[in-house]
């Protein structure tokens, strides 16, 4: 497509991305904007970042840019750093050998490798722009914009996919999913983000192959879940993941609670995600810890009750042990960094402490660094479950905004009602008086 046909202007492109392409071209290499940035500009969206593809090798790229760092083991990439903006530059990828045992290929030259599931675990194979286009995942991500002649080359009918509003894989879907199972998550993410549907052949293998996500490193899945749930469309994304059977391999402890679409567990997760979407779309701060606390809350409750009944542990000890066990199991699938898992446990512990409001406890809880997160969590639980839990959440809503005199009045009223049955003060046993020698 010529400039007149596609309408992309250099004004739509990051100045730093243009610098990178001009320098590569000036050194005798080819360079193109590629992937999501081209797709987004064509769809009238503002690109989040700009990626460049070139026939220069990572080492040649590094030789041209002092502000370059090479990253990646599965496939080497160059990051050109301009302050806070990073332009990612990838060498054209080529087709890999199907086996390390190919007698016609010297072992020293075989730099791609699959595991027993067909997943690519090493992929440093360089090739032509045509091969690179075939190696890309979705058709609308295989469009290349050249700053040399201002054309867009559409190798896989990506523009047609945009017009049909379909997410469509390049090549055989099962093979492509086996190469990289994260493509199943990307298909869902793009469908939600772009307001598209997943094309039939692309959608068909997802459920049968969903378990392959178990082979993805937990740290990578943490980054992918952030993209899924902190996009501003987390609730819709969650429902689509559930529809395609992708929640179970990500959150195996949560999945059994979601069999009933109208269950309190499903309603709770949806409400938390809807609230998160609202905050993100209002440019308010969110933390992954709150989201993970919600996704794992009911597994913690169930495990705590199980430990109490089976092991005879008291509620406090059972809850602490259950919290550790549930987080430990989850990190086998999705790594939750300690800076977040610590906050997750703080939120959960506050659910045990917030019902205990007598004496100085209520005032002490207000000063807890995670009080707000714990209260917000309690409020959503109350909205979903109702009853005493909702009354407790409403009490805390009024208490935290009341002046000191009114707060004391609320605590006095609480003592009188029901004799403080809900988390009331304990009666202290009076120590027997010491008996003197003449008693």
Active site residues: 49, 51, 137
Residue 242's closest CA among 229, 226, 223? 229
Whole-angstrom CA distances from 22 to 70, 305, 382, 400 are 20, 63, 58, 58
What Å distances lie between residue 401 and 237, 309, 406, 407, CA to CA? 35, 39, 10, 9
For tokens 């109702």, the residue is: 386
**Is 37 within 8 Å of 49 (Cβ atoms)?**
yes
Which residues have a Cβ under 8 Å from the Cβ of 175 and sit 6 or more positions away? Answer: 118
Q: How many CB atoms lie within 10 A of CB 256?
A: 12
- The three-point CA angle 220-223-229 to 5° equals 135
Report the C-alpha gap between 299 and 357 in whole angstroms. Answer: 26
Q: Nearest-5° angle of CA 223, CA 224, CA 230?
A: 85
CA atoms of 310 and 322, how far apart (whole Å):
13
- Tokens linked to 174: 């099962």
Secondary structure element (H or E) that encloses residue 42, with its range: helix 36-42
Strand runs (DSSP E) across 108-215, as ranges?
A: 112-114, 120-123, 143-145, 152-154, 166-167, 197-198
Q: How far apart are CA 235 and CA 200, in angstroms?
A: 23
Between helix 371-385 and helix 288-295 the angle, nearest 10°, is 40
Q: Which helix (H) or strand (E) holds 68?
A: strand 68-71
Partners of residue 215 on adjacent β-strands: none
């Amino acid at each position: 497509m010529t400039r007149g046909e596609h309408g992309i202007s250099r004004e739509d492109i990051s100045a730093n991305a243009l610098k990178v392409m001009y320098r590569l071209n000036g050194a005798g290499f080819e360079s193109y904007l590629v992937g999501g940035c081209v797709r987004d500009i064509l769809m009238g969206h503002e690109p989040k970042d700009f990626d460049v593809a070139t026939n220069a090798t990572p080492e040649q790229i590094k030789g041209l840019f002092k502000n370059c760092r090479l990253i990646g083991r599965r496939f080497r990439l160059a990051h050109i750093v301009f302050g806070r903006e990073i332009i990612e530059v990838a060498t054209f990828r080529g087709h890999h050998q199907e086996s390390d045992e190919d007698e016609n290929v010297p072992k020293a030259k075989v730099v791609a490798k699959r595991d027993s599931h067909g997943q690519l675990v090493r992929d440093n194979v360089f090739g032509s722009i045509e091969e690179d286009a075939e190696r890309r995942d979705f058709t609308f991500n295989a469009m290349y914009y050249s700053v040399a002649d201002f054309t867009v080359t559409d190798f896989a009918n990506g523009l047609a996919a945009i017009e049909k509003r379909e997410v469509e894989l390049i090549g055989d879907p099962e093979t492509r999913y086996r190469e990289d199972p994260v493509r199943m998550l990307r298909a869902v993410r793009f469908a939600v983000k772009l307001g598209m549907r997943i094309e039939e052949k692309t959608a068909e293998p997802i459920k049968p192959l969903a378990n392959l996500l178990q082979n993805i490193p937990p740290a990578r899945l943490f980054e992918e879940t952030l993209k899924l749930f902190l996009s501003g469309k987390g609730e819709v994304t969650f429902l689509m993941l559930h529809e395609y059977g992708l929640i179970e391999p990500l959150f195996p402890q949560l999945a059994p609670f979601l069999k009933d679409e109208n269950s309190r567990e499903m309603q709770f997760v949806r409400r938390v995600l809807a609230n998160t979407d609202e905050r993100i779309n209002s440019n308010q701060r969110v933390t992954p810890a709150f989201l993970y606390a919600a996704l794992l809350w009911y597994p913690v409750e169930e495990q705590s009750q199980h430990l109490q009944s089976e092991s005879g542990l008291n509620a406090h000890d059972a809850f602490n042990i259950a919290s550790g066990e549930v987080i430990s199991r989850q990190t086998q699938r999705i790594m939750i960094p300690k800076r977040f898992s610590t906050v997750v446990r703080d939120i959960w512990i506050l659910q045990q402490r917030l019902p205990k409001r007598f004496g100085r406890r209520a005032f002490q809880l207000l000063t807890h660094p995670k009080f707000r997160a714990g209260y917000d969590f309690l409020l959503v639980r109350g909205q979903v479950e109702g009853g005493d839990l909702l009354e407790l959440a409403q009490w805390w809503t009024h208490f935290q905004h009341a002046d000191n005199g009114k707060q004391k009045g609320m605590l006095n009223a609480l003592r009188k009602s029901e004799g403080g049955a809900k988390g009331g003060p304990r009666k202290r046993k009076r120590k027997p008086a010491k008996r003197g020698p003449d008693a």
